[in-house]
């Protein structure tokens, strides 16, 4: 690709930078964060993002509760996290400054909108003194920029009313940052022109504000010189920027195509899962049917109904929705039909922290249903990996005729990273044949299983001669004498015992159909860091820091949580110490302790944000001591 050569000879090259845009939730911080990310992605940087916004659509303006922020980490090399703290903080008001300052290391750059530090702004943020005047910010490279007034001035001639003009100040901030980090601006100007094409004045105002921001950087002589972060040398191939929810939606479509089954996605709106529904509802020309159900339970039931008729039934939600769907998941386990439940985990219990991330639904996925009710669990580790994990969840559901839980979380759902576009032709064929003929003489036995996978035949309505009735009541399976399998109601004690064990065995056998644990081992490593889900980036960052100190450490990350890979026990026993970092109170650690009798040490954090690399490093060091 061609890289714009910065015109300014004073440009200083950085290998990475972490930038955080922070403002009121009405200030458009997510929007400019997104834009900066897209520009950097198209420029070829590696990147990771961390959006952070309040659950309220509009908390009182100017208050700490209403602060919204977007952190983006860009680099010229492979990175795995959005960064611990920002190198540059843009604070649009005192509340944003107050809420984010503790993450900013001394010596870092702080850019504030000087126009929003009047007494009433300070009052709303609960400040008694003006931090711009009381020397409390002396440790930072502070730049006070009158963003609002310059924006109003720059848009004055466009006939924009001052109150409306003020709303473009986020584009001023974006323009300034684009100058500071020598971002190519053409794509952004094109984006503004296309996005606001129906609102002439808004378009003109945003464009003017953006240009004013850039010009301010160049001419104000406030900033000494701009920086650049060169494109990263990633694996060769075609890249795009992707967020987790989008990757999940695409993974489901890919699975539907490779399974040759129509996709039916039934869901009820819930943060942070709704974007999967939004995305899938756009792709009707793929034969994708989406259904916004009346509630979470209905969504699960609808997906089961779709699977019964020979579609790939999917339902998606977050923790509170999983609670509601648990009875339907039990039905799917009993019916032995393909189904995928996507759980985009968020902070709990109850409504908890709807917009913040957590990975505390693992036990819920494992055990959150009455009776012996096992189902496979797949977890995504990065935003782009949501594509692979969604595909894998569908593969297992279809092949084994079982509901599968796919765990992602709020951080993955909204976090972005560059994605090496997959070769779709290389994805495996995951189609299965429907039953078309009687399987026992002239009879059709819906619970006569495949001897290897233990999956039962999938006979769909419309198939003559294979009519059958299935339900949630215990069904007659194949007996020890080889008789049975009718699926008719059976209250026989022996039959129930056998069916409970068969359903468990069916899930357990999947261990032979998934890859072994991939261990990133180093000679001499005494500590294995074992993770799952979105902690992958934090764990990698921590491990890299340890290795940078010349110390050996091993790591492994689980994608399959039920069943575990067949060799997990052997892997764990190879290391004197096992550390399990999780954004919960130790759920995987309990599972591996129970399963393998290893003294795994739990390391936990439930603050709604990912572990920092420094925290991870410190904990691993402590384990090594």
Partner 1 sequence: MTTEPIALTRKDFESDQEVRWCPGCGDYGILAAIQFVLPELAVKPEEMVFVSGIGCAARLPYYMNTYGVHSIHGRAPALATGVAMTRPDLHVWVIGGDGDMLSIGGDHLSHALRRNVNLKIVMLNNQIYGLTKGQYSPTSEVGKVTKSTPFGSVDFPFNPLSVALGAEASFVARTHDMDRKHMMETFRRMHAHRGAAFVEIFQNCNVFNDGAFGGLLKKDVRADMLIELRHGERIRFGTDGQLGVAVNEFGEPHVVAVADVGDEGLLVHDERRADPTLAFALSRLSTGPHMPTPIGVFRDVDRPVYDAEVQRQLVAASERSGPGDLAKILASGPTWSVD
User: Which 24-83 residues touch partner 1, going by CB under 8 A?
Assistant: 38, 41-44
370 binds partner 1 (CB under 8 A): no
**Between 468 and 498, CB nearer to partner 1:** 468
- H or E stretch including 577? strand 577-582
Output the smallest distance, CB 244 to partner 1, in A.
15
> What does the alpha-carbon distance between residue 336 and residue 319 come to, in Å, rounded to a whole number?
23
**580 contacts 603 by C-beta, under 8 angstroms:** yes
**Between 155 and 290, CB nearer to partner 1:** 290
Total residues in contact with partner 1, by rule CB under 8 A = 73
- Could you identify the residue written with the tokens 């302790």? 593
> What does the alpha-carbon distance between residue 478 and residue 501 come to, in Å, rounded to a whole number?
12
Q: In angstroms, what CA-CA distances link 404 with 319, 395, 515? A: 15, 10, 17
**Between 440 and 597, CB nearer to partner 1:** 440
**Between 409 and 476, CB nearer to partner 1:** 476
How far is the first Cα of the chain from the last one, in angstroms, to the nearest whole number?
47
3-state DSSP assignment of residue 50: strand
From 148, 85, 154, select the one nearest 121 (Cα to Cα): 148
* Site stretch for partner 1 (CB under 8 A), options 51-59, 236-244, 270-278, 614-622: 236-244
Output the smallest distance, CB 281 to partner 1, in A.
10
Output the smallest distance, CB 490 to partner 1, in A.
11
3-state DSSP assignment of residue 340: strand
**Between 328 and 378, CB nearer to partner 1:** 328
Output the smallest distance, CB 464 to partner 1, in A.
5
| Binders of partner 1 in range 169-228 (CB under 8 A) | 187
* Site stretch for partner 1 (CB under 8 A), options 342-350, 458-466, 514-522, 577-585: 458-466
Output the smallest distance, CB 466 to partner 1, in A.
7
451 binds partner 1 (CB under 8 A): no
> What does the alpha-carbon distance between residue 580 and residue 565 come to, in Å, rounded to a whole number?
16
Output the smallest distance, CB 243 to partner 1, in A.
12
Q: In angstroms, what CA-CA distances link 22 with 70, 88, 89, 548, 605? A: 7, 11, 7, 32, 24
Output the smallest distance, CB 110 to partner 1, in A.
30
> What does the alpha-carbon distance between residue 88 and residue 108 come to, in Å, rounded to a whole number?
6
Q: ∠291-295-300 over CA atoms, to 5°?
A: 65
473 binds partner 1 (CB under 8 A): yes
* Torsion from C-alpha of 169, 124, 606, 317, nearest 10 degrees: -60
Burial 334-351 (b: 16+ CB within 10 A, else e): bbbbbbbbbbbbbbbeee
Furthest C-alpha separation in the chain: 89
316 binds partner 1 (CB under 8 A): no
331 binds partner 1 (CB under 8 A): yes
314 binds partner 1 (CB under 8 A): no
The single residue among 236, 349, 451, 524 that binds partner 1, judged by CB under 8 A, is 236
Output the smallest distance, CB 240 to partner 1, in A.
5
Per-residue binding string, partner 1, 252-291, x by CB under 8 A, is -xx--x----x-x-x----------------xxxxxxx-x
The single residue among 48, 145, 243, 293 that binds partner 1, judged by CB under 8 A, is 293
The single residue among 141, 439, 453, 488 that binds partner 1, judged by CB under 8 A, is 488
The single residue among 421, 440, 585, 597 that binds partner 1, judged by CB under 8 A, is 421
294 binds partner 1 (CB under 8 A): yes
From 415, 410, 433, select the one nearest 347 (Cα to Cα): 410
């Amino acid at each position: 690709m061609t890289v714009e050569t910065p015109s300014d000879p004073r440009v200083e090259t950085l290998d990475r930078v972490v930038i955080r845009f922070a403002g009121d939730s009405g200030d458009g911080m997510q929007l400019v964060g997104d834009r900066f990310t897209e520009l950097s992605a198209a420029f070829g940087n590696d990147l990771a993002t961390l959006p952070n916004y309040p659950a309220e659509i509009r908390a009182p303006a100017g208050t700490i509760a209403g602060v919204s922020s977007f952190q983006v980490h860009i680099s010229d090399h492979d990175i795995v996290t959005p960064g611990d703290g920002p190198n540059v903080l843009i604070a649009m008001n005192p509340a944003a400054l107050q809420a984010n300052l503790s993450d900013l290391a001394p010596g870092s750059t702080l850019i504030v909108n000087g126009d929003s530090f009047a007494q009433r702004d300070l009052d709303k943020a609960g400040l008694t003194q003006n931090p711009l005047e009381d020397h409390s910010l002396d440790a930072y490279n502070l730049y006070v920029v009158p963003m609002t007034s310059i924006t109003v001035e720059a848009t004055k001639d466009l006939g924009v009313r001052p109150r409306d003009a003020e709303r473009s100040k986020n584009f001023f901030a974006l323009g300034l940052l684009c100058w500071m980090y020598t971002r190519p601006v053409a794509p952004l100007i094109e984006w503004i022109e296309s996005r606001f094409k129906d609102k002439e004045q808004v378009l003109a105002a945003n464009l003017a504000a953006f240009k004013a921001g850039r010009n301010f950087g160049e001419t104000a002589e406030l900033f000494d010189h701009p920086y650049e972060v060169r494109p990263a040398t990633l694996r060769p191939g075609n890249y795009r920027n992707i967020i987790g929810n989008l990757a999940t939606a695409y993974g489901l479509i890919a699975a539907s195509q490779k399974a040759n089954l129509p996709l039916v996605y039934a869901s009820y709106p819930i943060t942070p899962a709704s974007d999967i529904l939004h995305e899938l509802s756009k792709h009707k020309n793929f034969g994708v049917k989406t259904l916004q159900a009346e509630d979470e339970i209905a969504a699960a039931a609808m997906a089961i109904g779709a699977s019964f008729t020979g579609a790939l039934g999917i339902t998606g939600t977050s923790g509170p929705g999983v609670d509601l769907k648990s009875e339907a998941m039990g039905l799917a386990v009993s019916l032995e039909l393909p189904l995928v439940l996507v759980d985009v985990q968020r902070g709990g219990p109850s409504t908890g922290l709807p917009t913040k991330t957590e990975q505390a639904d693992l036990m819920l996925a494992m055990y959150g249903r009455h009776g012996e009710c096992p189902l496979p669990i797949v977890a995504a580790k990065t935003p782009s990996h949501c594509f692979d994990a969604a595909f894998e969840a569908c593969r297992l559901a279809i092949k084994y005729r079982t509901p599968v839980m796919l765990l992602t979380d709020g951080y993955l759902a909204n976090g972005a990273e560059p994605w090496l576009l997959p070769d779709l032709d290389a994805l495996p064929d995951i189609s299965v044949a429907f039953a078309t003929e009687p399987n026992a003489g002239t009879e059709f036995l819906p619970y006569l299983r495949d001897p290897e996978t233990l999956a039962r035949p999938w006979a769909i309505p419309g198939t003559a001669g294979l009519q059958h009735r299935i339900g949630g009541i215990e069904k007659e399976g194949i007996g020890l004498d080889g008789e049975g399998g009718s699926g008719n109601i059976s209250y026989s004690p022996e039959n129930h015992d056998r069916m409970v064990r068969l359903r468990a065995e069916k899930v357990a056998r999947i261990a032979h159909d998934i890859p072994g644990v991939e261990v990133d081992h180093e000679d001499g490593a005494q500590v294995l860091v074992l993770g799952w889900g979105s902690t992958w980036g934090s764990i990698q960052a921590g491990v890299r820091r340890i290795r940078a100190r010349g110390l050996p450490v091993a790591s492994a990350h689980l994608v399959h949580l039920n069943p575990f890979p067949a060799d997990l026990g052997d892997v764990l026993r190879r290391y004197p110490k096992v550390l399990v970092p999780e954004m919960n109170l130790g759920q995987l650690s309990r599972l591996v302790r129970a399963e393998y009798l290893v003294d795994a040490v739990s390391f936990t954090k439930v603050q709604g944000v990912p572990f920092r690399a420094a925290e991870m490093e410190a904990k691993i060091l402590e384990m090594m001591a």
